[in-house]
């Protein structure tokens, strides 16, 4: 279930020439329009906004509102991935920054599975999705995890700025500096931490036992492998500075050192 590619292709070279993109004008870096086709970007944002509006709009009419919260969170997540990149890292923004295109069948399959689990169990046994008692506590905890996970993910992307890239970098670029401030002082991989708990929080909101286990296993494996590879390159790029940073910080995803 890949949310972020580890493709080594380079989409992010920043230059200041007038004839190539992205371009710097009056000290402001503008995104490469050839990778951010306005029709595709506006249409994607419009559709995300409409779906979000529909699911917010019919919240008052429903007894079990968790599916609405799930879809609203998905729309907000994909919008924010593009928006935060465009705002704080315009040299690397790309239509793929929505993390909607080319995410793989596994990503779509996992969310479809989660929604189906909830709908099927609710249809067969409506009481399984009550919001009373301990189930209410699980749903509330899930909402808190989802919101905090999203905030941590977005804040990490803002803090890392031009050092953040959805594509794992295998070559050091000129504008890539080691980030150790803000959330990075407390978490070694805050955007992965945020995404991990955001996704598990959503399964708690749906009261989905199977999907919770599925998401926890698949995401843990994905981030464990990803962090291992990412850190090998970060040691190559920043040497002892990264080794020292690593020894002073934790990932805070269970069982990932
Ligand atoms: C999707 S970003 C994720 C960043 C970080 N792993 C996180 O979870 O917040 C991946 C890119 O961030 C870069 N990166 C990761 N940690 C970094 C740090 N502390 N300082 C600078 N670059 C970092 C890696 O080189 C990689 O190309």
How much is the ipTM here?
Answer: 0.99
Q: What domains are there in the chain, each with its CATH number?
A: 23-248 (1.20.120.1630)
Burial class from Cβ neighbours inside 10 Å (0-12, 13-18, 19+) for residue 26 reads: exposed
118: CA distance to ligand 1 center in Å? 34
Q: What is the mean pLDDT of the chain?
A: 91
Confidence of residue 12 (pLDDT cuts 50, 70, 90): very low
SS (H, E, C) 131-169: CCHHHHHHHHHHHHHHHHHHHHHHHHHHHHHHHCCCCCC
Question: What value does the mean pLDDT take over residues 176-205?
Answer: 98
- Please report the pLDDT score of residue 15 as a whole number: 46
Question: Which pLDDT does position 144 carry in this prediction?
Answer: 98
Ligand 1 in reach of 103 Cβ (< 6 A): no
The region of weakest confidence among 75-84, 98-107, 134-143, 166-175 is: 98-107
Q: Which of 48-52, 103-107, 168-172 has the lowest mean pLDDT?
A: 103-107
* Any atom of ligand 1 within 6 Å of the Cβ of 189: yes
Is 153 a pocket residue for ligand 1 (Cβ < 6 Å)?
no
For ligand 1, whether the C-beta of 183 sits within 6 Å is no
199 pLDDT more than 90: yes
CA 190/CA 250 separation, integer angstroms: 10
| For range 107-112, the mean pLDDT | 92
Q: Relative to the CA of 157, which ligand 1 atom is closest?
A: 9
pLDDT of 9 reads 45
209 three-state secondary structure: helix
Higher-scoring residue by pLDDT: 20, 120: 120
Rounded to 5 degrees, φ, ψ at 84 are: -65, -40
Q: Judge residue 76's burial from the number of C-beta atoms within 10 Å of its C-beta, 0-12 exposed, 13-18 middle, 19 or more buried.
A: middle
Query: Does residue 76 sit in helix, strand or coil?
Result: helix
pLDDT value at residue 102? 79
Distance in angstroms (rounded) separating the CA atoms of residues 32 and 10: 13
User: Residues 189, 182, 157, 93: is their CA dihedral positive or negative?
Assistant: negative
Q: Determine the residue of 160, 182, 184 to mutate for testing ligand 1's pocket, defined as the one with the most ligand atoms within 8 A of the Cβ atom.
A: 160
* 20 band by pLDDT with thresholds 50, 70 and 90: low
Q: Per residue in 230-253, is it b (16+ CB within 10 Å) or e — as a string?
A: bbeebeebbeeebeebbeebebbb
Residue 81 beta carbon below 6 angstroms from any ligand 1 atom? no
Which is the closest atom of ligand 1 to the Cα of 179?
20
The Cβ of residue 98 has, within 10 Å, a number of other Cβ atoms equal to: 23
The verdict on the CB of residue 156 being under 6 Å from ligand 1 is yes
CA dist 19 and 57 (Å) reads: 46
Backbone angles phi, psi at 132, to 5 degrees: -90, 160
pLDDT value, residue 2: 55
Rounded-to-integer distance, Cα 175 and Cα 237, Å: 12
6 CB within 6 A, ligand 1: no
The pLDDT value given to residue 3:
61
List C-alpha distances in Å: 244 to 32, 180, 182: 36, 11, 17
Is residue 210's pLDDT more than 80? yes
Q: Residue 74, by phi and psi: left (phi above 0), alpha (psi -120 to 50) or beta?
A: alpha
């Amino acid at each position: 279930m890949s949310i972020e590619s580890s493709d080594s292709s380079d989409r992010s070279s920043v230059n200041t020439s007038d004839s190539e993109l992205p371009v710097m004008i009056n000290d402001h870096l503008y995104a490469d329009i050839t990778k951010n086709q306005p029709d595709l970007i506006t249409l994607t944002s419009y559709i995300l906004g409409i779906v979000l509006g529909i699911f917010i709009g019919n919240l008052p009419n429903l007894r079990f509102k968790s599916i609405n919260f799930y879809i609203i969170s998905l729309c907000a997540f994909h919008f924010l991935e593009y928006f935060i990149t465009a705002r704080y890292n315009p040299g690397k923004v790309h239509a793929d920054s929505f993390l909607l295109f080319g995410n793989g069948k596994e990503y779509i399959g996992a969310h479809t599975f989660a929604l189906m689990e909830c709908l099927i169990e609710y249809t067969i046994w409506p009481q399984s999705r009550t919001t009373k008692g301990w189930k209410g506590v699980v749903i509330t905890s899930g909402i808190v995890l989802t919101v905090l996970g999203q905030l941590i993910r977005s804040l990490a992307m803002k803090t890392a700025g031009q050092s953040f890239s959805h594509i794992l970098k295998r070559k050091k670029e000129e504008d890539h500096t080691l980030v150790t401030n803000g959330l990075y002082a407390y978490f070694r991989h805050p955007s992965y931490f945020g995404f991990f708990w955001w996704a598990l929080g959503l399964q708690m909101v749906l009261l989905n036992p199977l999907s919770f286990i599925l998401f926890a296993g698949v995401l843990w494996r994905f981030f464990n492998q990803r962090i291992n590879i990412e850190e090998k390159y970060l040691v190559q790029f920043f040497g002892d500075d990264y080794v020292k940073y690593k020894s002073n910080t934790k990932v805070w995803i269970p069982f990932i050192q």
